[in-house]
């Protein structure tokens, strides 16, 4: 997400990780992304209900984009920042069990944009979530709806968007104003990207694994973006941007995460030769994904926090202005209500805690839905977590170990709590489904409250340490 929003100050960018079910420890598929923008842009959880009488037109809050909507809409959850309520949902599941992560900012090349320019009042990143997720029943259907909207209205900017359900995971990258390519995630691979289009191979005859605008190759050939004499069509070469800034801002994240999961891959951090889909050395766990989104070239010369270097050229995965990070997990062998979970870390993942939100829960704790804004408050969940990270960053090497140790213990506690919650749900869902949903919702709220109360106490602990530090610096005892 590289556009400037209402504050007019900061660009927005993300890191995406997708894991196939044969690459994960638990046999789950994962669709994950950090949403990196402005630390002052508070995130508020939204819960929308199924409706037969929904809004019939979408009206964008920051452009002239408009489009009709079906009156019948599925319920869904979202994680918008406070400036886009009901619009930039970012991540969540609908009541049909389809998950969506929107969006990863990517960039088309200047030559591609000369042939097919972005449309100023076309489909922008903040519009994509709420006009797609409530109206689709499968991940594939999500790709098809989004692709049709891109072709009809044009894209206002570059973006990559993921969809996940009980059967498949798909990721779509747009190209220029009206074209796009989506690939089904291989079961035995993982995928990482940071603000770049990564796709290369495309087989228009393989409808099982590829979906795309009908003239994707033909248009590229006609406009000098692709020459068949040079070999097989390469989507990235034809449509995508590669510039010097990518070598420090984007490549290092892909390089670092692939080194984490696949240390045997021998890539040059300064060259875009990374495999699109890679195989991990060992199967990837939920804990591994939490660690990946906390990655900052830990304990190396490029670690900006270890060295207190805000000018470090290698952009880390975990940055202070992250507004939220989500890890969407789908375990098809379980009922959708508990098999689909979104783990959300509010604020900077490295100094935050991943909290589980179950697809089947019908409510969340009010501190998470409270309309927090760009000014700190003493009530909202977002600002509670944000204060901890802000204090931690004043002296990272002193405070971070305290914060990380505390939150690791809480995540371990939540892992055990979830096992109990899911066992209880399975024991009651067939005989008393309403009671099972009610208990699941209550258990989810209890974990959310636990994270909130735990963080309030952690904040007091940190201020106790800070008071001691300040006193040691300015003791002036004199006796």
Q: Is 120 helix (H, G, I), strand (E, B) or coil?
A: coil
Short-list 459, 334, 474, 356, CA closest to 413: 356
C-alpha–C-alpha distance, residues 113 and 189, integer Å: 31
Contact 401, 110 (CB under 8 A): no
Residue positions counted in the chain: 479
Determine the structural domain holding residue 262 and report its residue range: 15-379
Q: How many CB atoms lie under 10 A from the CB of residue 205?
A: 6
Phi, psi of 46 (to 5 degrees): -120, 145
Q: CA distances (Å), 257 to each of 6, 71, 279, 321, in order?
A: 32, 42, 12, 20
Span 328-338, average pLDDT? 98
Is the pLDDT at 10 greater than 90, yes or no? no
Contact 305, 400 (CB under 8 A): yes
pTM of the model: 0.97
pLDDT of residue 11: 62
In a domain, 92, yes or no: yes
Q: Is 197 helix (H, G, I), strand (E, B) or coil?
A: coil
Q: Tens digit of pLDDT for each residue in 93-127?
A: 999 999 999 999 999 999 999 999 999 999 999 99
The secondary element (H helix, E strand) that includes residue 426 is helix 396-428
In a domain, 457, yes or no: no
Is the pLDDT at 12 greater than 70, yes or no? no
Q: Tens digit of pLDDT for each residue in 170-209?
A: 999 999 999 999 999 999 999 999 999 999 999 999 999 9
In a domain, 436, yes or no: no
Average pLDDT taken over every residue of the chain? 96
C-alpha–C-alpha distance, residues 312 and 301, integer Å: 9
Is the pLDDT at 4 greater than 50, yes or no? no
Structure-token pair, residue 258: 């692939």
Span 413-430, average pLDDT? 98
In a domain, 36, yes or no: yes
Position of tokens 């809409």?
73
Candidate list 14, 32, 183, 429, residue with the active-site label: 14
Question: Residue 13 — pLDDT band, cuts 50, 70, 90?
Answer: confident
In a domain, 317, yes or no: yes
pLDDT of residue 478: 78
Question: Residue 324 — pLDDT band, cuts 50, 70, 90?
Answer: very high
Q: CA distances (Å), 322 to each of 88, 209, 347, in order?
A: 15, 32, 5
Is the pLDDT at 3 greater than 60, yes or no? no
In a domain, 401, yes or no: no
Q: Tens digit of pLDDT for each residue in 34-88?
A: 999 999 999 999 999 999 999 999 999 989 999 999 999 999 999 999 999 999 9
In a domain, 68, yes or no: yes
Position of tokens 């195989």?
279
Q: Tens digit of pLDDT for each residue in 221-245?
A: 999 999 999 999 999 999 999 999 9
Question: Residue 298 — pLDDT band, cuts 50, 70, 90?
Answer: very high
CATH of the domain at 354: 3.60.60.10
In a domain, 416, yes or no: no
Q: Decide if 67 is catalytic.
A: no
C-alpha–C-alpha distance, residues 238 and 234, integer Å: 6
| Overall number of domains in the chain | 1
pLDDT of residue 2: 41
């Amino acid at each position: 997400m590289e556009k400037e929003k209402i504050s007019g100050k900061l660009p927005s960018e993300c890191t995406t990780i997708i894991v196939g079910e044969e690459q994960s420890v638990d046999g789950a598929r994962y669709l994950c992304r950090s949403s990196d923008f402005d630390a002052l842009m508070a995130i508020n959880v939204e819960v929308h209900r199924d409706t037969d009488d929904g809004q019939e037109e979408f009206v964008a809050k920051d452009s002239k984009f408009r489009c009709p909507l079906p009156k019948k809409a599925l319920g869904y959850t979202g994680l918008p920042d406070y400036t886009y309520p009901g619009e930039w949902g970012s991540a969540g599941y609908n009541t049909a069990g389809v998950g969506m992560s929107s969006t990863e900012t990517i960039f088309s090349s200047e030559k591609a944009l000369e042939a097919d320019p972005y449309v100023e009042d076309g489909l922008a990143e903040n519009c994509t979530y709420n006009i797609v997720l409530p109206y689709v029943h499968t991940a594939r259907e999500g790709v098809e709806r989004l692709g049709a909207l891109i072709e009809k209205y044009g894209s206002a900017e570059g973006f990559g968007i993921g969809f996940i359900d009980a059967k498949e995971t798909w990721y779509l990258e747009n190209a220029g104003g009206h074209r796009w390519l989506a690939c089904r995630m291989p079961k035995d691979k993982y995928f990482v990207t940071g603000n770049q289009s990564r796709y290369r191979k495309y087989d228009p005859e393989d409808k099982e694994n590829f979906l795309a605008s009908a003239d994707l190759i033909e248009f590229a050939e006609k406009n000098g973006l692709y020459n068949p004499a040079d070999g097989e069509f390469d989507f990235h070469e034809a449509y995508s941007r590669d510039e010097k800034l990518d070598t420090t801002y984007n490549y290092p994240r892909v390089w670092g995460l692939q080194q984490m999961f696949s240390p045997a891959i021998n890539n040059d951090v300064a060259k875009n030769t990374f495999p699109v889909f890679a195989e991990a050395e060992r199967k990837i766990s939920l804990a591994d994904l939490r660690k990946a989104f906390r990655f900052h070239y830990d304990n190396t010369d490029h670690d900006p926090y270890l060295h207190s270097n805000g000018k470090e050229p290698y952009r880390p995965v975990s940055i202070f202005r992250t507004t939220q990070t989500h890890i969407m997990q789908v375990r098809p062998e379980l009922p959708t209500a508990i098999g689909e979970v979104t783990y959300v870390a509010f604020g900077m993942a490295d100094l935050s805690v991943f909290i589980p939100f179950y697809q089947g829960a019908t409510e969340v704790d009010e501190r998470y839905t409270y309309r927090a804004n760009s000014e700190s408050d003493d009530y909202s969940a977002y600002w509670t977590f944000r204060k901890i990270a802000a204090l931690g960053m004043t002296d990272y090497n002193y405070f971070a170990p305290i914060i990380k140790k505390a939150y690791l213990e809480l995540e371990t506690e939540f892992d055990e709590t979830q096992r109990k919650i899911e066992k209880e749900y399975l024991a009651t869902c067939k005989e008393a489904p309403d009671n099972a949903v009610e208990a699941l919702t209550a258990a989810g709220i209890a974990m959310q409250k636990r994270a909130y109360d735990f963080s309030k106490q952690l904040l007091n602990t940190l201020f106790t340490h800070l008071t001691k530090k300040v006193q040691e610096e300015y003791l002036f005892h004199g006796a």
